Structure 1
Amino acid sequence: MKIIVPMAGRGSRLRPHTLTIPKPLIPVAGKPIVHRLVEDIAGVLNQDIEEVAFIIHESFGKQVEEELLEIAQKLGAKGTIYYQNEALGTGHAIMCAKDSLNGPAVIAYADTLIRADFDLDTTADSVIWVKQVEKPEAFGVINLNEANEIVELVEKPKEFVSDLAVIGIYYFKDIAVLRNELQLVLDNNIIHGGEYQINDGIKQMMEKGMKFVPGKVDEWMDCGNKDVTVDTNSRMLNFLHQDGENLVSDDVKLDNATIIPPCYIGEGVILINATVGPNVSLGKGSKVENATIKNSLVQTHTTIKNATLDNAMIGNHASFDGNFTNISIGDYSVLE
């Protein structure tokens, strides 16, 4: 089994946090989004992972590439880096990894996290994972026939089709079939929304009678903008806490401070006259003094003083001293 991870986009909706780091590497509950995604998919597939291919922008740099290759190595898999330097769509991104597109594979876009427990239907040509949503008109959804097979993909339907939204994770029994169909999309310049789309390759497979079935996840957590990323951080902390995972480093220094779980507290964190939690992630090397923080995501080596924070997201190496309560500041920012 292979895992293909398109992640070349910078994540403009999550700025300023993505100005200095790609969105998939922003930590949620103490671990970068893409790390959690790949590990969770490998866990639910319950199969040996042969290769993990990451499709990134060349500007991400060698350090990012090394971190991604380590993810694959921890799974005992080969890690491969491909580049998509132009934002030409999901279909184009996948085809940037053309040399790895053979055999059984899962494609997973690196801006979403899941919680799931299922058996993969290996009799199908493809599985498209979906989640029931309250407002299907805001998503791409699937249409099912009486045999529970997917017969249509509909993007943001104006009239009700179904409430099962496509979450951006796909299994293909032989991804070479999708590769060949996407090559036709590129060769014939089939464009929607100014881009080459994976859906056009999938629709061609459906027209040839291939069997697509839905796979349902228990939880689908987005990381598209600041508010939903903070919410995803809170939800993931609760899941990990329920799983019994230790989220507080042994070397945290407490001075008249209280931690209300669930919280992730990284290495070397110092808490003085502070109440932290619930639902807070504090990255390593951070310091909180004379402050109360809840429902927030703070990255590494950041100092927070004299603050009451709720629904906050703060980047790396930042310094905040003030009374703002709902903030979003990026790396190396200072508010005093």
Structure 2
Amino acid sequence: MKALILSGGKGTRLRPLTYTGAKQLVPVANKPILWYGIEGIVAAGITDIGIVISPETGEEVKNLTGNGDRFGASITYILQEEPAGLAHAVKIAQPFLGDSPFIMYLGDNLIQNDLTPFLHDFKTHHLDALILLRPVENPTAFGVAKVDESGRVLQLVEKPQVPPSNLALVGIYYFSPNVHEAIAQIQPSARGELEITDAIQNLIDRAQPVESRILDGWWLDTGKKDDLLSANQIILDSDVRTEIYGALDESSQAIGRVKIGRGTTVKNSSIRGPVVIGENCHLENCFIGPYSSIADNVRLIDVDLEHSVILQEAKIEGIHQRIVDSLIGRRAHLGAARPRPKALRFMVGDDCQIELA
């Protein structure tokens, strides 16, 4: 059994942040989104992993993620020259996949469920495809499945105007090698891409065994700012434990579940968890509220922050209004000339400089 993780795409819904970086590397609770998928796959016993990358961000993904040693896996990188669809990604990965069954995982997805039970069902039922589904309130925005009472998939429709159900396709699929034949038989869609939904429908039309399972835990597609902040909140709620390796002075306090990395100094500040703060940061005269993640080498002075994600080497100084629901990019610099009366919300890309006047 192998795994194929898709880590290409342009990340248009997270711009301007993804003009300069891969969306799959944006951190949730100070860990790249992509790594959660890798860890989940390895926990299911799959260690031979291919990662599909794009020309724009592929080197960044390779440099940060490495050869897989840190995860107990072997990683092969596969270049997709253009974003020509999920089925196209499988097609170009066929030399890596060979005749092996595999799990396909979209690298910007996060799920609560363990992958192992689904893998067991896929193998024991001798399926050609097993898809994961989750009920949603807005099925017109997703690929939607029509299934029978046993979970057998009858039809897949991409973003239907009249959905046959409220069951959206989660970005995790289990395939036998027969999917390659299905991909070879489909044509590009109206948007010029080879759609994985068309390939699965081809399997269904040829009476191949295709089943579904319903996720009972949470599922997050982190392609938008608010979704990413929600993912950050959920991970902080479930995973953060109090670990303080940095230095707090006598005027500072950490309340609740707070993780602070080595080399970080905290002066005259209050931190209320769940919060995670990386290494070599400097916080002074700050209040850091719940559900905030602060990456390495960040400088915060005179800042009131809550429910936000701050990326590496960002600097925020002298903003006396509360910053909430914000995503601040790497090396961004925010400063204020004088106080302003309202709370502030930001989505700031890498290397930006903003002054409130």
TM-score for both structures, normalised by structure 2: 0.86
Is 1:133 aligned to 2:147, yes or no? Answer: no
Kindly state the Cα deviation for residue 242 of structure 1 after the two structures are TM-superposed. Answer: 7.5
Q: Larger deviation: 118-127 or 59-68? A: 59-68
- 2:110 is the counterpart of 1:113: yes
Deviation at 1:158, TM superposition (A): 2.8
RMSD: 2.1
- Give the match for residue 5 of structure 1: 5
TM-superposed deviation, 1:243: 11
| Alignment match, 1:333 | 352
Q: 1:31 to 1:20 in 2, by over 3 A?
A: same
Alignment correspondent of 1:221: 220
Mapped partners of 1:326, 1:36: distance in 2: 27
Matches within 5 A, 1:162-173: 162-172=165-175
Corresponding position of 2:84 = 88
Deviation at 1:251, TM superposition (A): 3.4
Match runs of 1:171-250 below 5 Å: 171-172=174-175, 174=176, 176-185=177-186, 189-217=187-215, 218-241=217-240, 247-250=259-262
Residue number among 291, 299, 317 corresponding to 1:305 in the alignment: 317
> What is the percentage of aligned positions where both structures have the same residue?
29
Distance 1:197 1:243 in 2: 44
Q: Between the two structures, name the one with larger relative contact order (CA 8 Å, sep ≥ 6).
A: 1
Q: How many residues align?
A: 327
Name the SS for the 2:78 alignment partner: strand
Deviation at 1:250, TM superposition (A): 4.0
Summarize the Cα distance change of 1:192–1:104 in structure 2 as closer, same or farther, 3 Å threshold: same
Q: TM-score, normalised by structure 1?
A: 0.91
Q: Give unmatched runs, 5+ long, in structure 2.
A: 244-256
CA contact (8 A) 1:6 1:94 kept: no
| Residue 160 (structure 1) shift | 4.3
Ranges in structure 1 where 5+ consecutive residues have no aligned partner: none
Give CA-to-partner distance per residue, 1:238-261, whole Å, 9 cap, x none: 121379997322433111111111
CA contact (8 A) 1:318 1:333 kept: yes
SS in 1 for 2:137: coil
Distance 1:206 1:7, change over 3 A: same
Structure number, greater radius of gyration: 2
Q: Distance in 1 between matches of 2:86 and 2:329?
A: 28
For residue 282 of structure 2, what is the aligned residue in structure 1? 270
In the alignment, structure 1 residue 53 sits paired with structure 2 residue 74: no
Q: Could you say what secondary structure the match of 1:113 adopts?
A: strand
The separation in 2 between residues aligned to 1:200 and 1:135, in whole angstroms, is 21
Deviations 1:33-87 (A, max 9, x none): 11112212333xx32x2411111112325343233334x3233332111111122
Aligned to 2:332: 318
Rounded Cα–Cα distance in structure 2 between residues aligned with 1:257 and 1:105: 49
How many angstroms apart in 2 are the aligned matches of 1:26 and 1:139? Answer: 23
Name the aligned partner's letter for residue 136 of structure 1.
Answer: P
